[in-house]
Each structure stands twice: as C-alpha cells, then as structure tokens.
Amino acid sequence: MPECYRIGSVTVELTEGDITELSADAIVNAANSWLKHGGGVALAIVRKGGEEIQRESDEYVRKHGPVPTGQVAVTGAGRLKAKYVIHAVGPRFGEPEGDEKLASAFRNSLLKAEELGLESLALPAISTGVYGYPYARCAEVLASVLLDTLPRARSLRRVIVCLYGSEAYSAFSKVFRERLGAYSSTC
C-alpha cells in the first residue's frame, strides 16, 4: 500500500517498486557527473527506455561538460512512459557537505520539473545504492527538501518517491511518518 502526504497543493506518494514502470511526466535518474549510465537505476532506465537516453546524455556532456554534484541535466525518456528523464547527480556518502549536495540534487530535480511545467515527478532514493548513503539519512534530507520546496510549487501536483525493495521502503516510511506525520493524507 502506498502512503501519502499532502504538502501545499502537492501529494507526495511513497511507493515500493521499479521507477521505470511508473507513469509520471518525468522520472529522476540517480546519475554520475559524466552521465554514464552503467549501473543501478541508471542502467535500468537506459535498458527500458533505450540507448537514445545514453546518446542524448553523451551529447549533453559534450556540449556542457560534466554535471556538478547536486545539479541536474534533462534528456528525453525514449520508450519510457515519462516525457523526460531528469538526471540528478548525488554525492558519495562521506564526501564533504554530502547532505547539502544531496539536498541540492533533490531540490534541483523538483525545480527543473517546475521549470518544465510538469504535474508529476517520480524520484528514486538518490545516492543510496552505489554511492553508499544510508536510506534513513537520505529520507531525512528528502523530507526537509519537500517541506521547503513544495509549498511554493506552481505546476507540480504529484511527487512519487519510489523505493526499490522493502528495506528501503520501511526506512523511508519510518522517517516520513516522523517528519511529515502532520501532512499525512489519503492517496
């Protein structure tokens, strides 16, 4: 069962599953600065969406250079149900100012969706795979960003936080209930 929170005019839905299966205007990828989508959620996105996502990513880096940690780049979404993939570069756990960089990666994803005028966005638990962040710490960072950012949202109405596996879901659920309990809502 998904669980939901309402912050301003946006419903935040916590769900367990594969982000590449979701219907949202954009899905966020947990990328590296070179947009080389070699593992984790990035590889799943390219496998299902098609090589054009990797080609467009390569083109982006050729034109603009690597994407700094905490920043985002946008490509099309190939065969995925989404219109766009927003590639967000998170920090490695333990690097200096990691939490601030992780917050930037989430915040810039939400702001980019707003800039594109999107209604719905799906987010993975950025940095909690190859980059080693504990789920609970990532959830704390994301909860703060949602509370800061969503009250000012104009186009966004739905943010889906997609957790891969029950361990990730339980950890996020616990933190979100503690931090966002006052915003609890029906889905």
CB of 122 to ligand AR6, least distance (A): 9
Q: Does 129 bind ligand AR6 (CB under 6 A)?
A: yes
The residue type found at 80 is L
CB of 41 to ligand AR6, least distance (A): 4
CB of 152 to ligand AR6, least distance (A): 26
Give the count of beta carbons closer than 10 Å to the beta carbon of residue 187: 12
Q: Which stretch binds ligand AR6 (CB under 6 A): 41-49, 58-66, 73-81, 149-157?
A: 41-49
Which lies closer to ligand AR6 via its Cβ, residue 30 or residue 142?
30
Backbone angles phi, psi at 12, to 5 degrees: -105, 120
Separation of first and last alpha carbons in the chain:
10
Of 23, 85, 90, 88, the C-alpha closest to 54 is: 85
Q: Does 73 bind ligand AR6 (CB under 6 A)?
A: no
Options 57, 69, 127, 149; binder of ligand AR6; rule CB under 6 A: 127
Which lies closer to ligand AR6 via its Cβ, residue 73 or residue 183?
73
Q: Does 91 bind ligand AR6 (CB under 6 A)?
A: no
Options 4, 12, 74, 162; binder of ligand AR6; rule CB under 6 A: 162
Ramachandran region, residue 154 (left: φ > 0; alpha: ψ -120 to 50; beta: rest): alpha
CB of 180 to ligand AR6, least distance (A): 19
Q: Is the dihedral of CA 9, 88, 18, 135 positive or negative?
A: negative
Of 165, 171, 129, 162, the C-alpha closest to 43 is: 129
Q: 122: helix, coil or strand?
A: strand
Residue count (the chain) = 187
Report the interface residues with ligand AR6, using CB under 6 A.
18-20, 30-32, 37-42, 44, 90, 124-131, 162, 164, 168
